Amino acid sequence: MLTNNESPGSRIVTAKGAMLVDSGKLGRPADADAETIFDPNYWQVRGEIARAARGRGATWFIASQRNEWALRHYRRGGLITPLLSADRYLWVGEPGVRSFAEWRLLAALRARGLPVPEPIAARYEREGPTYRCDLIMRRILGVEPLSVVLAARRLDVGEWRAIGTTIARFHAAGVDHADLNAHNILLGTGAISLVDFDRGRVRPGGSWRETNLRRLRRSLRKISAGLPPGHYSPSDWDALLAGYRHAPAL
């Protein structure tokens, strides 16, 4: 099973906080200082913002001559307390910084051959008892979220089984995805990846696996209301579970 402390990266102290980087893969433009790469306005001026992505946070796809990146600014979902803005978190120490935790988890998952985005850099900025944070990942090209694919066509049994098998690989490694849903499963030609590991963690086996699956099923039921007839049915979920339960990893 994985541990939460693999691949810590290189830590760089900044004026208001710190960065965590894979310096061998950062490859930032020559005219950008260390933190400029986290500023979407910098990329906008250069004409290298490809498009924004759906999600709880604010995510921009960056397409430059050197890099294909996804830049995410963390924002809290659900109820917002009146004492904090949507992109601020209470400071409880650097180990609790959400972008750092996700960076390290992604690095550990990739080291074990699991299909997740490659982490490039993370940072946080403190202000009093709160902080803001960001994460840059290498984009997975040629993929679409399961929710988008289902809007266009129906998946066959083999595809549903493959999704279940992929989820089982993560669960066998002890990976608890805190928000497994139809938007965070990416489908490509012969490849399936999982994204958005904010609040994800590695933990011993337990009921969290069933919780992950129930969350995904609720997500599929929710989006099915807006899908063309026949694009999702109970038999599709059965095929996913068959792939999950018969995965070699389990």
Cα–Cα dist 93/222, whole Å: 37
Cα–Cα dist 20/37, whole Å: 13
Single-letter code of the amino acid located at 158 = G
Cα–Cα dist 215/63, whole Å: 32
Tokens, residue 235:
């038999």
Cα–Cα dist 97/100, whole Å: 5
- Between the CA of residue 192 and those of 50, 83, 111, 144, 245, what are the distances in Å? 23, 40, 17, 10, 17
Residue 202's CB: how many other CB atoms inside 10 A? Answer: 18
- Angle (CA) 237-225-159 rounded to 5° is 30
Active site residue 179: yes
Cα–Cα dist 98/81, whole Å: 18
Selected catalytic residue, list 22, 134, 176, 179:
179
Which is it for the CA torsion 159, 162, 164, 167, positive or negative? negative
Catalytic residues: 179
